[in-house]
A and B are shown apart, each in its own frame.
Chain A
Amino acid sequence: MSVSKNKGTNLLRSSEKSSLRRFLALYFTLVVMILSLLGTFYYQSKEKLMYSDQRTILSNYAHEQIQQLRRLHRDFPQKSTYPRSSEFRSGIYDIERSEIFSTLQSKDLNFDKELYHQNGMMTSVTYLDDYYLGMKYLFIEIDEDANWYSSVMMEIFTLGIIILIVLATFGLFFVNLFLRPMKNSIMLLDDFIKDTTHELNTPISAILANVEMMNIEIMGEKNRKKLSRINIAAKTVSHLYQDLTYLTLDHNRKSKDEWIDLKSLIEDRVEYFAILAGSKKVVFTLDLNYSTIFIDGIKIARVIDNLISNAIKYNKRAGTIHVTLRKDYFMVKDSGIGIETDKVNDIFERYSRFNSSEGGFGIGLNIVKSIIEEYSLKIDVQSIIGKGTTIRVDFLKGTVDDK
């Protein structure tokens, strides 16, 4: 079984992503607000246009009705049938707004508005100077176009979506433009580290190999101390080299997962860092049960190395590091300087460091985070300023050997 690695180098820190998200949210909110405003204006202009069309139609009907009423007035009472039409309804009212005759459906009439719509009907009022049959007000009423509203809303919605897509494309283009300098600077740093890394391998390997080969039995105490310091320095650089290699080269390779004996691995890594810990008189206490995990050996070693290395680096002199291993988790607890609560979430960011007085690039915990995420493990950081930090890594069910 193998887990394929599909994550590319993540150029954006989470704080930058958060800024980007905020910018995009603001941009889209503004775009939607502007579009809503434009939609409202568009609706109003279409409504005005519709009113204008209806006004013309109603005006023609009114003119036609007035002619008929004029004839009726002239021939009254020999002719007394009120003129009706299948295309509109009408009503005539005298100067005192009293009904003379009406075929209108609407009972709630507005004498002061020349054109209005209510209850799905469009009504116009014509004011007359010659009061045929006593009429001062002529109401003409027609049914509103039922499809008008839905067709206008459909137009607004379609246009809105098209404009939104166009503006979103522009938005993404500008975001890329905005982020390019930031991406370039991060890429420049990555490239620098990558180039430097190639040049570190041979000298570090040579130093470490030669230190291992030297016979400390025949050395004097002073020389033995000097050699120990060389060993510590070389291992520190070697650890950094491992991280940089992982970050720039190894993390893109396909994982080679296998059952790893964590107890042996932790013991091995503790022994590797023993000289480094000894230089600060930091003491390891191990409480390790047997546990195996199905994972890439290099990657889990990077996790353990970085947690132990940080526990040494940020520990106080003569401090302690307690490493616990259980079947489904392991925990590294130090007695170091601790981390402020509001900065706990930032420690996994690339190029961020607990304390600028200590060396390093701030990439160790970023590597830990990327491996943890790749294998869906769970990491928990508890820290108290001045007392120390505890980092616990829980294994996912199924990755540990349940036997």
Chain B
Amino acid sequence: MINKIVLIVMLSMAVNAKEVPNIYEKACIPCHKHLPYSLEKIYMLYLKTFSGELTFKASLKAFLKSPMEETSVMPDEWIENFSVKERTILTDKELDEAIDSYWKLYDVRNKLH
């Protein structure tokens, strides 16, 4: 009986674990999904500006920690309409995780053929 209970608890934890959104999904998507510029488009904009993975991630992290109009890659019209985002409240570790997920999700290497 105890074994059955343990098994059910573990299964429910596994199911729940699958459904737990990662930090990128939790911290980024909720805000961006209401904006006209998709995260994929912003990714392509960053890619066009910073090219390599390390540069991309470092630049994005620097911007998220200290957003400024001068360092934003978004078009001027965007800035005028939506202004520059607020400073992130994520820790460095969370920020790295979120950016890694973002990079992996839209990496062109996996999509070109």
Asked if A131 contacts B111 (CB within 8 A), the reply is: no
Q: Which residues of B contact A94 (CB under 8 A)?
A: 51-53
B112 contacts A95, CB within 8 Å? no
**B113 touches which one: A81, A96, A131 (CB < 8 A)?**
A81
A100 touches B109 (CB 8 A): yes
Q: Decide if B111 touches A77 in the complex (CB within 8 Å).
A: yes
**Residues in B14-58 with C-beta less than 8 Å from chain A:** 40, 44, 47-56
* CA distance in complex: A130, B44 (Å): 12
Q: Is the CB of B53 within 8 A of A80?
A: no
B108 touches A (CB below 8 Å): yes
Among the listed B48, B51, B52, B112, which residue makes an inter-chain contact with A80, where contact means beta carbons less than 8 Å apart? Answer: B112
From A76, A95, A101, B109 is in contact (CB under 8 Å) with A101
Which of B40, B48, B53, B112 is within 8 Å of A131, CB to CB?
B48
Q: Which residue of A lies closest to B54 (CB)?
A: A96
Please give the distance in Å from B31's CB to the nearest CB on chain A. Answer: 22
Interface string of B78-113 (1 = CB under 8 A from A): 000000000000000000000000000000110111
In this complex, what residue of B is CB-closest to A96?
A: B52
Report the minimum CB–CB distance from A163 to chain B (whole Å): 54
List, in ascending order, chain A residues with CB within 8 A of B55's CB. 95-96
Considering the chains assembled together, what is the distance between the CA atoms of A133 and B45 in angstroms? 9
A132 touching B48, Cβ below 8 Å:
yes
Bound-state Cα–Cα, A130 to B55, Å: 15
Residues in A with CB closer than 8 Å to B111 are 76-77, 80
Across the interface, which residues of B come within 8 angstroms of A130, CB to CB?
Answer: 48
Query: B49: nearest residue on chain A (CB-CB)?
Result: A131
- The distance in angstroms between the C-alpha atoms of A134 and B49, with both chains bound, is 8
A266–B83 Cα gap in the complex (Å)? 132
Contacts of A142 in B (CB 8 A): none
A81 to B108, CA, bound (A): 11
Nearest-neighbour CB distance to chain A for B106, whole angstroms, equals 8
- Determine whether the beta carbon of A100 is less than 8 Å from that of B108: yes
Cβ contact of B44, chosen from A76, A82, A98, cutoff 8 A: A76
Chain A contacts for B40, CB-based, 8 A: 77
Tell me the smallest distance from the CB of A13 to a CB of chain B, in Å.
Answer: 82
Cβ of A135 under 8 Å from chain B: yes
Q: How far is the CB of B58 from chain A (nearest CB, A)?
A: 11
Given A76, A81, A101, A134, which contacts B51 in the complex, CB threshold below 8 Å? A134
Chain B proximity mask over A86-115: 1 for CB below 8 Å, otherwise 0: 000000001110101100000000000000
Q: Tell which of B47, B56, B112 touches A82, judged by Cβ atoms closer than 8 Å.
A: B112
Are A95 and B113 closer than 8 Å at their CB atoms? no
Q: A96-B53, A98-B53 are in contact. Are A73 and B48 (CB under 8 A)?
A: yes
For B108, the chain A residues whose CB sits under 8 A away are 76-77, 100, 133-134
Complex Cα spacing A100 to B47, Å: 12
Chain A residues in 8 Å Cβ range of B54: 96
CA distance A76 to B108 in the complex (A): 9
A130-B73 Cα distance, complex, nearest whole Å: 13
Contacts of A133 in B (CB 8 A): 47, 108, 112
Q: Which residues of A contact B50 (CB under 8 A)?
A: 95, 131
Q: Which residues on A sit within 8 Å (CB–CB) of B49?
A: 131
- In the complex, which of the residues B44, B51, B53 contacts A135, with contact meaning CB atoms closer than 8 Å? B51
A241-275: CB near B (< 8 Å → 1, else 0) gives 00000000000000000000000000000000000
| CA–CA, A73 and B52, complex, Å | 15
A134 CB contacts on chain B under 8 angstroms: 47-48, 51-52, 56, 108
User: Could you tell me if A100 and B112 are in contact, using CB atoms closer than 8 angstroms?
Assistant: yes
- Nearest Cβ in chain A — how far from B105, in angstroms? 11
Residue of B44, B51, B55, B111 ringed by the most chain A CB atoms within 10 A: B51
CA–CA, A80 and B108, complex, Å: 9
Q: Is the CB of B48 within 8 A of A136?
A: no
Specify which of B40, B47, B53, B111 lies most central, judged by the most chain A CB atoms within 10 Å of its CB: B47
Given contacts A73-B48, A98-B53, A101-B109, 19 further A-B contacts (CB under 8 A): A76-B108, A76-B111, A80-B112, A80-B113, A81-B112, A94-B52, A95-B50, A95-B51, A95-B55, A96-B52, A96-B54, A98-B52, A100-B109, A133-B108, A134-B51, A134-B52, A134-B56, A135-B51, A136-B52
Residues of B within 8 A of A (CB): 40, 44, 47-56, 108-109, 111-113
Q: Please name the 7 residue pairs, one residue from A and one from B, whose CB atoms are nearest each other, closest first.
A: A96-B52, A95-B51, A131-B51, A95-B52, A94-B52, A134-B47, A94-B51
